[in-house]
Amino acid sequence: MSNTPNGLSIEVVDRIAKVTLDRPDRLNALSSGLICDLIEAFDRFSADDDVWAVLITGSGSRAFSAGIDLKEMNEADQSQRAPTLPMRGVQRNVFEVILECSKPVVAALNGVAVGGGCEVALACDIRIAAHHARIGLPEAKRGLGSNFGCQLLPRLIPRGIAYELLYTGELISAEQAQRWGLVNRVVPGDALAEEAMNFCRQLVANAPLTLRRYKAMIGKGGELPLAAALRLHVGPNPYHSEDRAEGVAAFLEKREPVWQAK
């Protein structure tokens, strides 16, 4: 396990990288240092052969993440430092880096996921929420913007509902988020950690190159016309892989496959 001074904890177990936003005293708010650590970690996961899936959660039971650290932002305002605009600056956008991680990414929402914390969750492939979790983008109540959220949210749920969430800035319950397709599962809070880890174990039990292919194809082809999307060739090629031959052989021999990600 590794822990950064900025509050990011990473543990790799059974090919699952468990990432914990560990600033419970600040409701796991995204400070500039924590954002830098997340960018570095997710960039590394894409190339790490020991990581086949990523699980991200928050410390404690109150918050997945309360979003951008407003205390830090206020201190910057008082010193008259100009804020960095979305998709500008010397480093990549953290939400984009999570979205484009080549491995499956699961969010375990252990509490409120608001603002930038909600955007972290939106950048993940799968969202599993504790029953008490609440989700939303309250930037309209703070005079902020939600650059990533206002682009991704209408791609995940009906546009009218996306407008409502963005315009009102209100938070919704985990159950409502599930009804709208914003989260995949809602589970009791005390069962979240185990449920999320078991789900990730289910992912890494499948052929890793196939899952990475799915992610690349959906990510690159989701907005293309079907005829163009069907002709995409992105991500690893499972059809010519050693794992494809192993999967077929294991099925015929009635045994569990041994994947090599090759």
258 within domain boundaries: no
The domain tally of the chain equals 2
Indicate the average pLDDT of the chain: 94
At 14, the pLDDT band (50, 70, 90 cuts) reads: very high
131 with 248, same domain: the answer is: no
pLDDT at 105: 98
235 within domain boundaries: yes
Over residues 218-249, the pLDDT tens digits come to 999 999 999 999 999 999 999 999 999 999 99
| 40 assigned to active site | no
Give the CATH number, domain containing residue 200.
3.90.226.10
Give me the mean pLDDT over the 152-167 stretch: 96
Give residue 137's domain range: 2-204
- Options 139, 195, 223, 242, the catalytic residue: 139
Q: Quick check: pTM over 0.75?
A: yes
pLDDT at 1: 86
- Separation of first and last alpha carbons in the chain: 27
Alpha carbon 30 to chain centroid distance? 14
The DSSP-derived string for 118-182 is HHHHHHSSEEEEETT-EEE-GGGGTT---HHHHHHHHHHS-HHHHHHHHHH---EEHHHHHHTTS
d(CA 122, CA 201): 21
261 within domain boundaries: no
Give me the mean pLDDT over the 208-225 stretch: 96
38 within domain boundaries: yes
Examine the fold and report which residue of 182, 204, 226 is the final residue of a domain before the chain moves on.
204
pLDDT at 82: 61
User: Are the CB atoms for 114 and 67 separated by under 8 Å?
Assistant: yes
| 75 assigned to active site | no
15 with 51, same domain: the answer is: yes
Over residues 1-12, the pLDDT tens digits come to 899 999 999 999
Over residues 53-106, the pLDDT tens digits come to 999 999 999 999 999 877 776 666 666 666 666 766 668 899 999 999 999 999
90 within domain boundaries: yes
pLDDT at 83: 65
172 with 243, same domain: the answer is: no
Q: Output DSSP code: residue 28.
A: T
- The helix or strand, by DSSP H or E, that contains position 25, with its residue range, turns out to be none
- Options 119, 175, 194, 195, the catalytic residue: 119
User: Are the CB atoms for 122 and 180 separated by under 8 Å?
Assistant: no
43 within domain boundaries: yes
Examine the fold and report which residue of 166, 184, 204 is the final residue of a domain before the chain moves on.
204
pLDDT at 77: 63
pLDDT at 70: 73
226 within domain boundaries: yes
pLDDT greater than 70 at residue 176 = yes
Lookup: tokens for 140: 């309209």
pLDDT at 175: 98
Give me the mean pLDDT over the 143-153 stretch: 94
142 with 221, same domain: the answer is: no
71 within domain boundaries: yes
